Each structure stands twice: as structure tokens, then as C-alpha cells.
Amino acid sequence: MTEQDLVAAPAGVPVLDLDPFSMALLDDPYPYHARLREAGPVVWMPKHGIYVTGRHEQVREVLNDHEAYISSAGVGLANFNKEPPFRPKSLILEADPPDHTRARTVLSRILSPRSVMLIRASFVLEADRLLDELLAAVQAGQVVDGIGQVAEAYPLKVFPDAVGLESQGRENLLLYGDMVFNAVGPRNELLARSAEKVQPVTAWIMAHCQRHMLQAGGFGDLIYQAADAGEISQDEAPMLVRSFLSAGVDTTVNGIGNALWCLASHPEAYAKLHADPGLARTAFEEALRFESAVQTFFRTTSRDVLLAGVPIPAGSKVLASLAAANRDERQWPDPERFDIERRPTGHMAFGSGIHGCVGQVVARLEGELILAALAKRFKRLELAGQPTRRLNNTLRALSSLPLRLTPA
Ligand code: OVM
């Protein structure tokens, strides 16, 4: 008997017999997303025994009803009410109110627009420094790897600096991100492979969540200050630092990497950006819509619910495809068109509702600054070879992106 035989197909729900976590669908998810949206507002996938929604309206509904669709049973395929979590639960991601609210209040203050204003100057300086270096490399005749030299280099410098992390060992942040985002999916080959490295990487991460490892005044230290003030307990502080280190790097690395890929494969869009680097912010936003770095999250129903009239029993896992919602023709005119002058307000790449990305102000800052710095220095950005994909159960990611850059 296979896993799927254990879960009977519910009546009245369209069935889609696909595995969204198979290598083929992860490599090219868009035809599957179209089938998902077409099949109905909610479908049943027997392979994993889950309900799946890929239409914007229903994705939004699931994410905005945090009482019916809870996070404390995990936001991946695993149901934490039935099996233990692969790591101690995140105090913010895998929590519901009122527990969630305390953690969220602290993190939203640390990552607020006002506090991000204070780091802006250093983020600008670093983007300019990195792109000056890149310009010199290009002038010396080098082909550039957009992933290693830009998309990884920039977030790995500025975000851990802002958290107050030491410089050494930061590559662990990418390995850890790869692991936690694979763990949102099933126990497939991808999870097995990234879990092989879990012990040393987790040990490094947890060690760097300790107060004495974090520079005074950084985001990490501010969490400990919140604990000193009694907003959270001392035991909770390292766990909230862990949230920075889980969600703060691999997400922006791939947001920027995907944006570079979008621009390299749409020369007319890059030409517009070069002509007006002020478009950097909306260009980044459109890239998030078009190639969402985080493709999916799950919720678990806390009671019997109706979603678009479809009955879903209590205790069900519901997959919300952020990426499919972001190309839903019911929501977006000409969704398959990458258009940096579109204002894709309401895209789901940062999620929505009380769990909507708490770091989105920082993420947007990084995206905007790196694209603007690029646009100012280069008049053309072209593919210099085939990009390679880094398959991950949740992240839309590239491992390399060979670029030919033409100085302005
Ligand atoms: C966390 C966290 C938050 C958002 C995303 C995420 C798996 C992790 O709190 O650890 O990615």
C-alpha cells in the first residue's frame, strides 16, 4: 500500500494527480500552476493527501483567515499535531495568536520602516561598493555569475551585518535556509540531501543566536533588549534570532537572483530600468510577482471550513500556492508578461495577513538598491550562458546565472 491509498479522495473536489514537489514540476512549475488554477478554486492531490489552491482570491482567503487556517500545526506538509517538528517550532512562523502576537510585535518593531531608515545608508554604500567591484571585473573582461557575485554576495553582507553577526561562516546561512525551506515540503530526495548537513549547520546557527555572539545595537541584540524589557522571555530571545537567520537571507538571495534572471531574459525591461533607475523598486516587486522566491506555504484547518463552497474537514493540510496566485489571470491583466511598469500591488510573494513577511521592508530595500546600482552602471544585461537551477521544495532558486554586462 502506498501513502496515497491511506487518504481517500473527498467527494465533490476536483482531483489533480500531480506531485508539486517532484523534480520536474519544481524545475518548471508554471504549466502545473495553470492546470491547478483551471481545475478549480481548490483541488485535492492524492499523492500527498492535501488540498491545494492556486487562485489569487482563495490563496488570499486562506492566508487572511488565521483562525480557520492555523500555522501552529506547521506551515509545511508535516502536521505537527501528528508528528514532531523537524526542529523546535518557530515562535512566529509556526504559531497562532496570542503566542504569535508577542513575537510578531517585537520583530515588527525591529524591522519597522522607521528602524530600516537607520540602516538604509549602510545598505546603499554596500550596494555601490559591490557594483563598483563588479564593474571593475567586467572591465577586466570577466563574465559575471549573477548568483554568486550579486544575489548571494549582497544579502550575505548587509543583512547579517544588520543583525550583528560575525563575518566568518556566513555560508551556513544559505545551507540552513536551503534546509528549512526544503523541510516545508515532503520527505523527498531534496530534503534528504539537505538534511545530511543538518547537524553542523544547525549547531552553527544556534551558537550564533546567543547574545554574546551578536554585536550591540544590531537586530539580534534588539531582541535581547526586548527580553530585558520583559516583552518576551530570555529563553525566547535566541529562538527569535533564529527566525532572522532562517528567513532573512535565502529569501532575499533568491528574490534578487530571480529579478536578475527576469531582467536578463527581458532585454526591453532592462533597457527601461537602465533609462530610469528610479524604476528599481517596482521592477523588484514585479519580479517577486513573476518568479516568487517563496512559492508555497501550508496551513492546517482548525475546523470544518468551506473554501469557495468546497468543504474541507478539520485537520486538513491546505497548500496555498503563492506563485500560482501571482499569475492568476483572474487577478492580473496579462499575467505571463514581465512588466516592470506594472504596480503588482496585492501579490502574494510576501504572503498576506498576520503572517505576511515581517521583513518585507528590508527585503524591498535590498532589491531596490541592488537593481538601481546595477542599472546605473550597465546599459545592457544579457545571458552569457544557460543558468542552472537549485531545486528546493519551496524556494524558486538558481545556483548560477552567467551574465554579460555592458558598461554604460
Ligand atoms: C522562522 C521563519 C519565518 C519565515 C519563514 C521561514 C522557513 C522561517 O521564523 O523561522 O522560512
Residue 324 included in any domain = yes
Residue nearest to atom 10 of ligand 1 (CA): 243
- Cα distances from 3 to residues 6, 15, 188, 314, 408, in angstroms, run 6, 16, 13, 20, 57
Gap from CA of 155 to ligand 1 centroid (Å): 16
Q: Find the domain containing 137 and state its range.
A: 48-407
Q: Residue 212: what pLDDT?
A: 98
Contacts of 32 (CB under 8 A, 6+ apart): 18, 20, 25
Is pLDDT above 60 for 1?
no
With contact defined as beta carbons under 8 Å apart, do 284 and 364 qualify?
Answer: yes
**Residue from 178, 236, 246 to probe ligand 1 pocket by mutation (most atoms less than 8 Å from CB):** 246
With contact defined as beta carbons under 8 Å apart, do 262 and 370 qualify?
Answer: no
Is pLDDT above 60 for 172?
yes
**Residue from 86, 93, 108 to probe ligand 1 pocket by mutation (most atoms less than 8 Å from CB):** 93
Is pLDDT above 50 for 201?
yes
Is pLDDT above 90 for 179?
yes
DSSP letter (8 states) at residue 395: B
Name the grid cell of 307: 473554501
17-52 pLDDT, tens digit each: 999 999 999 999 999 999 999 999 999 999 999 999
Residue nearest to atom 8 of ligand 1 (CA): 247
Residues with CB under 6 A from ligand 1: 90, 92-93, 180-181, 243, 246-247
Residue 142 included in any domain = yes
Total domains, the chain: 1
Backbone angles phi and psi of 340, in degrees to 5 = -75, -5
Residue 14 included in any domain = no
Residue nearest to atom 9 of ligand 1 (CA): 243
Gap from CA of 377 to ligand 1 centroid (Å): 34
Q: What is the mean pLDDT of residues 265-274?
A: 98
Q: Residue 7: what pLDDT?
A: 63
Gap from CA of 395 to ligand 1 centroid (Å): 12
Atom of ligand 1 lying closest to residue 94 CA: 9
Gap from CA of 273 to ligand 1 centroid (Å): 32
Gap from CA of 49 to ligand 1 centroid (Å): 24
Gap from CA of 398 to ligand 1 centroid (Å): 20
Cα–Cα distance measured from residue 240 to residue 99, given in angstroms and rounded to the nearest whole number: 13
Whole-angstrom distance between the N-terminal and C-terminal Cα of the chain? 62
Torsion region of 336: left, alpha or beta (phi above 0 gives left; psi -120 to 50 gives alpha): alpha
**Residue from 71, 90, 245 to probe ligand 1 pocket by mutation (most atoms less than 8 Å from CB):** 90
Closest CA to 329 of 36, 29, 14: 36
Gap from CA of 18 to ligand 1 centroid (Å): 26
The CATH number for 340's domain is 1.10.630.10
Residue 32 included in any domain = no
Q: What is the mean pLDDT of residues 166-170?
A: 98
Alpha helices in 208-325 (DSSP H): 219-228, 236-247, 250-264, 267-275, 280-290, 322-325
Cα–Cα distance measured from residue 54 to residue 292, given in angstroms and rounded to the nearest whole number: 13
Is pLDDT above 80 for 381?
yes
Gap from CA of 181 to ligand 1 centroid (Å): 8
206-220 pLDDT, tens digit each: 999 999 999 999 999
Q: What is the mean pLDDT of residues 337-357?
A: 98
Residue 6 included in any domain = no
Location of C-alpha cell 482563495: 58
Torsion region of 321: left, alpha or beta (phi above 0 gives left; psi -120 to 50 gives alpha): beta
Residue 283 included in any domain = yes
Can you give the C-alpha Rg of the chain in angstroms?
21
Percentage above 70 pLDDT, the chain: 98
Q: Residue 361: what pLDDT?
A: 98
Q: Residue 2: what pLDDT?
A: 43
Atom of ligand 1 lying closest to residue 91 CA: 9
Q: What is the mean pLDDT of residues 96-115?
A: 97
Q: What is the mean pLDDT of the chain?
A: 97
Q: Residue 254: what pLDDT?
A: 98
Residue nearest to atom 4 of ligand 1 (CA): 247
Gap from CA of 313 to ligand 1 centroid (Å): 26
Q: Residue 11: what pLDDT?
A: 83
Q: What is the mean pLDDT of residues 253-277?
A: 98
Q: Residue 12: what pLDDT?
A: 85
Q: Residue 3: what pLDDT?
A: 46
Residue 9 included in any domain = no
Residue 56 included in any domain = yes
Q: What is the mean pLDDT of residues 207-234?
A: 98
DSSP letter (8 states) at residue 225: H
